[in-house]
Structure 1
């Protein structure tokens, strides 16, 4: 405060407060202003990556194959009957339920495809994500754009997860529609013997789709990590498939029961917990925990390799 002709007038304090307020406002405004364009740029990059992935004939053909297989399974069950009708001890409990309720065809198709074909499809897309770009020489041009390696790697992984979701959803929808056309539909009797309404059965299919997608997303992290170690995409793809096969072999050996809970493939089929009442939440949560651990570990490996080594030369 200063005195002029006996009156006190605000001087420095007011200007400092105004200056501080303007500074805070400008900082917040700049932060928001910088964040929004960055998010938009990230989404544009993701959209471009997804467009290239889904327009690639090879990937479209794989999605088409995934759609056809539930139809073939449904037709076979319609013509030849369920495993329990064609002979004792054949098939699984899920397959035995298909002819009684078409909703089970979705679960049956996923239980078959999650063993190998879905992992192969995911391995092709995720394994090619970095190695394919490096092999073609386009990766160095992507990194020339001020996108940053971390952001580019994140886009590559999210794009692979989106493809995982699309692949699993394609199987589920194909199985659902084929089942409704070929078999009776209505309230669904779960494996535990409890009957739930048709709408709840469809909702449980949605839960299964999300669970299987999480399992495939964990495999995508493995494939992405392997993809950063080579410029030959077929090497990353083949290595991922070998990892899946070795894990399945290890999971089939009773003497190795101690390590089986740590194998990714052990948990892929545990979506059948949705077909019980109450839902086997603890078992499925353990599976999600394993999936998350694989994403963190192999995502970290991919990040360390991609950001710390010159892979564009």
Structure 2
């Protein structure tokens, strides 16, 4: 046998090392790339669009119900309900008051609770941590993605409500809570201000959800715990005997956007709400950073 026959064949070479789990290799490098890929991942999920679709159904059902019933009595039902037949724009605002106590927090709890725990359950978290951006940057990106969802989900409720209301009842100059009347264009700007207010209101809940997501590898547990805390805080807020703690609840000012629908606009409630949410974001964020940076990631 010649020496050439004894030489190892190319096929005898060891196989290449395995690649990371599906999807992690495609994520961008650096914080901007990671943020872009995380946002893309969020809105590629069928679950995200199903939640947005469910939120969009709220104003549709509300508008159709009022249309079939021919109106409602003043003071009955959620805020703005008795004004829908006069101006369809109020469908969006009435739907928002229906969505805020449960449906909107529930969808945000799903996104925030899945932030870290979802990666751990899929076994992709350790591959994300290989990136040079670091744990704190990853945590910040996950929170920003949850915050973006807060804004889009809130906007979806109001936007669908305004469109459905305009179709069913028409739209025109808006009569504000103070009795003054403004043009339709200004009324829509006021609706955008309400969207901003409610989006800010949900940022504290999103921070709590991300914190709980760092405590477990089971995303369903983090989602459920976040949603339960949102409901529990609202229940505590309705108990007079616990009025001393009401101003410190992250849910305390969720529905106080009425000052944006007065003339002139009073921004005090907006600023107070933003400060309250900032405190909760700071506290939950600090705890999440401490937990995540000291955690042994095995999955």
The interval holding the TM-score normalised by the smaller chain is: 0.7 to 0.9
Q: Is structure 2 residue 38 aligned with structure 1 residue 49?
A: yes
CA displacement at 1:58 relative to structure 2? 1.3
CA displacement at 1:93 relative to structure 2? 4.0
Describe the SS at the equivalent of 2:279.
Answer: helix
Question: Aligned partners of 2:50, 2:167: CA distance in 1, in Å?
Answer: 24
Describe the SS at the equivalent of 1:265.
Answer: coil
Describe the superposition over 1:193-238 as per-residue Cα deviations: whole angstroms up to 9, x where unpaired. Answer: 1111111100001111111111112211000001000000011111
Equivalent residue number for residue 15 of structure 2: none
Larger radius of gyration: 1
Describe the SS at the equivalent of 1:169.
Answer: helix
Q: Are the counterparts in 1 of residues 78 and 97 from structure 2 also a CA contact under 8 Å?
A: no
Q: Is structure 2 residue 159 aligned with structure 1 residue 203?
A: no
Count of aligned pairs between the two proteins: 272
Q: Is structure 2 residue 274 aligned with structure 1 residue 285?
A: no
CA displacement at 1:92 relative to structure 2? 3.5
Q: Which has the higher helix share?
A: 1
Equivalent residue number for residue 13 of structure 1: none
Which of 68, 72, 86 is the equivalent residue of 1:79?
68
CA displacement at 1:82 relative to structure 2? 3.0
Describe the superposition over 1:19-64 as per-residue Cα deviations: whole angstroms up to 9, x where unpaired. Answer: xxxxxxxxxxxxxxxxxxxx98322111111111111111211111
Which of 273, 281, 304 is the equivalent residue of 2:290?
304
Q: Is structure 2 residue 115 aligned with structure 1 residue 129?
A: yes
Question: Unpaired runs of 5+ in structure 1?
Answer: 1-38
Equivalent residue number for residue 262 of structure 1: 248
Question: Aligned partners of 2:80, 2:261: CA distance in 1, in Å?
Answer: 9
Q: Are the counterparts in 2 of residues 93 and 191 from structure 1 also a CA contact under 8 Å?
A: no
CA displacement at 1:145 relative to structure 2? 2.1
Equivalent residue number for residue 247 of structure 1: 233
Aligned pairs for 1:24-35 within 5 A: none
Question: Aligned partners of 2:129, 2:268: CA distance in 1, in Å?
Answer: 43
User: Which has the higher mean CA deviation after the structures are superposed, 225-234 or 40-49?
Assistant: 40-49
Equivalent residue number for residue 23 of structure 2: none
Q: CA RMSD in A?
A: 1.5
Question: Aligned partners of 1:107, 1:93: CA distance in 2, in Å?
Answer: 8
CA displacement at 1:165 relative to structure 2? 1.2
Equivalent residue number for residue 3 of structure 1: none
Question: Aligned partners of 2:79, 2:50: CA distance in 1, in Å?
Answer: 31
Question: Aligned partners of 2:261, 2:71: CA distance in 1, in Å?
Answer: 18
Question: Aligned partners of 1:65, 1:109: CA distance in 2, in Å?
Answer: 12
Q: CA separation of 1:133/1:165 partners in 2, compared to 1, >3 Å: closer, same or farther?
A: same
Equivalent residue number for residue 22 of structure 2: none
Question: Unpaired runs of 5+ in structure 2?
Answer: 1-27
The TM-score with structure 1 as length reference comes to 0.83
Q: Is structure 2 residue 80 aligned with structure 1 residue 94?
A: yes
Question: Aligned partners of 1:59, 1:93: CA distance in 2, in Å?
Answer: 28
Q: Is structure 2 residue 56 aligned with structure 1 residue 70?
A: no
Question: Aligned partners of 1:168, 1:93: CA distance in 2, in Å?
Answer: 17
Equivalent residue number for residue 119 of structure 1: 105
Equivalent residue number for residue 199 of structure 2: 213
Q: Are the counterparts in 1 of residues 208 and 284 from structure 2 also a CA contact under 8 Å?
A: yes
Describe the SS at the equivalent of 2:136.
Answer: helix
